[in-house]
Structure 1
Amino acid sequence: MPIRFIPVAEIHDPLTIALGISGGSGTGKTFTSLRVARGIAEAITGKKGAPIGYVDTENKRALHYKAAFPEMAHFDFTAINDDGELVGFGPERWIEVIDAAEAAELPVLIFDSFSHAWEGVGGVLDLHAQVLDRLVQEAQKRANGRYDVDPAKFSQLAWAEVKPRYRRLIDRIVRAKTNIIICTRAKPVMQAGFGDKAKNARKTKTRRDDVPWDPASDADLMFEMTAMIILDPIAPGCPVHQIKVADQFKNLFDPRKPMSEATGAAMAEWAKGQGGAQKQKETMDLAREKARGGSEAFKAWWAGDEGKLARNIVRPIMEEIQKICADADAAALQTDDDPFAQGRSDEEHGDQHNGTEDVAAAA
């Protein structure tokens, strides 16, 4: 089949959303996902009460909300089939669910909780343990007591057998023709230090110092999402920890306000190409460009007509703007005589801190 590159002007198919919502017990994952899904479904179909597909691995917990969400189409996803056989939560079963949702033409599908695909019976970690056990037993038979077998040496081989199955599931989620909200459990991370100085005690390639929660999933899932947020018990339903939020969505996720039907509707409008997300991104990029000129240049722009019109759009990235201003101010203090100069010490340029504080105050 010949390869054809299609001009984007000829592409009118709507995009699909894959929203990740993670959180510990009591953070409002189920209720929040239903509210956002309602907004997506109604915006996509143009109909009130459009169906919401719900894949429930939590002992029918979603049915607690059936009176509030009568449009819910519920599937009780258990580790045991109708014949009483243990079938688990392997990747292939989740792919079957997505196939069924598309066949039913559901506009949105909720997985709650997708953590079972990772750490549940028959999930990825369980599959890895099973394969590792088999490989070790095979190695012990070959050794026949002549030498000791180290199980750790077979872990990567086990992952090589299991991970492709999981990757096919992630790829199926990304390429789904229905919108998907993926709920995962989150566990508290051990902290070092106290109060404002507390940081995560153990770093990983995906764990941020300022987020004291770990989703019960892997990094592949997080990075494939359209947006990924972690809820916190201090503010149920609010996107307190924004792990992956592009500029197009920053104004949708206010850490002080619970996500709602309006959040889902706005994301659906973006997916249909009818939202103002691209214009918002351009405005944020313009603010970053002004900040690269330093605190004074940014404050001058902020006080002008253009800056005043942009304020509501730029406020969600104000911490980033302050850092850009501070870096630009520090760079301006460097001297050409010393190629390794990093600017003066904190005591020598206290005015710089005042500048960035002024930027914060201006916001």
Structure 2
Amino acid sequence: MNAHIRFIPVTEIHDPLTLSIGLSGGSGTGKTYSALLMARGIAETVTGRPGAPIGYVDTENKRALHYKQAFPEMMHFDFQALDHSGNVVGFPPERWIEVIDAAEEAGLPVVILDSFSHAWEGVGGVLDLHAQTLDRLTRGDDSKKDARSQLAWAEVKPRYRRLIDRIVRANTNIIICTRAKPVMQKGFGNSSVNARKTKTRREDVPWDPASDADLMFEMTTMVILDPSAPGCPVHQIKVADQFKGLLDPRRPMGVETGRAMAEWAKGQGNAQKQKELLDRARTEARKGKEAFMTFWNSPEGKEHRELLRTILEECQRLAHEAEAKAEQNDDDPFGLPPVGDSLTDEQRAEMEAAERAFREQGEQG
């Protein structure tokens, strides 16, 4: 038996969790102000006292100091691309790890990284490191860049992955602000959709964060703000049921948002009960429209209607699917819809290309 491994009953674990919150958006969407408000709520809840310090890592030419009168508790760090001697050092992953280490050593209850986009697309960031590595591997021969690109990523991505792991393992709460750029659309008005899909881009979200999927989906919560509603979590990329009641797309995030999320992290919030209620709503929706309507109009449904509205669209879809399935005639196999092969377009294209190559080899043989 391995004496170094011990499974601990969760009832004996009382350490608070830490939050990693991602806020992305274009200029004027309220990222900085929202981050400061939420950080104030987190810091006061964690420490139990008003005016608790908020760490702020500023890559935006001291832009956060515009808010120093409103947030005198801010502990500011001017994170520049130059070192003390004026040499360009950029924003590689290792420097961000040092910043998080320093925030923990200073005992800060929360730290804001703004703008973390520099870690991805800034000088010395991941994209810049990839380009430098690719130049070294190809020695300036552009004809070799496509073939060597993955080799370059193999050198750079582990460094970035260590940074993401450091964020996840942080002993302080972290709010990460990133820029977002508008996505090219096809179609017009309400019928327009994103022109091209990527692994970090949802078809219904017209913004592309300056980061990658590794970061976005490691966050406790990840939202994209929209200029049409500054400070509001309009596009919810990753929001667990525990936070759906807190992050209303129509209501700006603020001190109370941070306070409630910190209470959940301490294990003292009512987030688990909210999740159970939302799961019960989904269960009723899977039974069909009538069952869901009964639950919606029940005393419990009326009491928590504001929370239930956060998943109303999802429940409507589940109920419609249940009704459609109930109408299908299982006695007629030709009347049933095809199951599908669950392949993505890229996977199907690769499979078809492999089949063609195999047939061509057979014909040549």
- TM-score, with length taken from structure 2: 0.90
Root-mean-square deviation over aligned CA pairs: 1.3
Partner of residue 328, structure 2: 334
The CA deviation at 1:308 is 2.3
Matched AA of 2:197 = K
Q: Structure 2 vs 1, CA of residues 190 and 90 (structure 1 numbering), >3 Å: closer, same or farther?
A: same
What 5-or-longer segments of structure 2 have no aligned partner?
338-365
Taking the TM superposition and a 5 Å limit, the aligned residue runs for 1:1-363 are 2-137=4-139, 149-342=143-336
Question: 2: distance between equivalents of 1:149 and 1:188?
Answer: 31
Question: 2: distance between equivalents of 1:199 and 1:341?
Answer: 32
Q: What SS is found at the alignment partner of 2:323?
A: helix
Partner of residue 348, structure 1: none
Q: What SS is found at the alignment partner of 2:333?
A: coil
Question: 1: distance between equivalents of 2:328 and 2:131?
Answer: 55
Q: Is the 8 Å Cα contact of residues 25 and 179 (structure 2) preserved in structure 1? A: yes
What 5-or-longer segments of structure 1 have no aligned partner?
141-147, 344-363
Question: 1: distance between equivalents of 2:318 and 2:7?
Answer: 38
Q: Is the 8 Å Cα contact of residues 330 and 336 (structure 2) preserved in structure 1? A: no
Question: 2: distance between equivalents of 1:96 and 1:153?
Answer: 34
Q: What SS is found at the alignment partner of 2:139?
A: helix
Q: Is the 8 Å Cα contact of residues 330 and 342 (structure 1) preserved in structure 2? A: no
Question: 1: distance between equivalents of 2:336 and 2:186?
Answer: 30
The CA deviation at 1:247 is 0.3
Matched AA of 1:173 = I
Matched AA of 1:23 = G
The CA deviation at 1:242 is 0.5
The CA deviation at 1:213 is 0.3
Matched AA of 1:36 = M
Question: 2: distance between equivalents of 1:97 and 1:268?
Answer: 22
Q: Is the 8 Å Cα contact of residues 331 and 342 (structure 1) preserved in structure 2? A: no
The CA deviation at 1:206 is 2.3
Q: Structure 2 vs 1, CA of residues 291 and 260 (structure 1 numbering), >3 Å: closer, same or farther?
A: same
Q: Structure 2 vs 1, CA of residues 180 and 340 (structure 1 numbering), >3 Å: closer, same or farther?
A: farther
Question: 1: distance between equivalents of 2:302 and 2:155?
Answer: 56
Question: 1: distance between equivalents of 2:53 and 2:172?
Answer: 12
Matched AA of 1:175 = R
Q: What SS is found at the alignment partner of 1:150?
A: helix
The CA deviation at 1:340 is 4.6
Q: What SS is found at the alignment partner of 1:258?
A: coil
Q: Is the 8 Å Cα contact of residues 20 and 174 (structure 2) preserved in structure 1? A: yes
Q: What SS is found at the alignment partner of 1:162?
A: helix
1:13-33 deviation line (CA, Å, top 9, x unaligned)? 000000000000011111110
Question: 1: distance between equivalents of 2:334 and 2:285?
Answer: 24
The CA deviation at 1:313 is 2.3
Partner of residue 356, structure 1: none
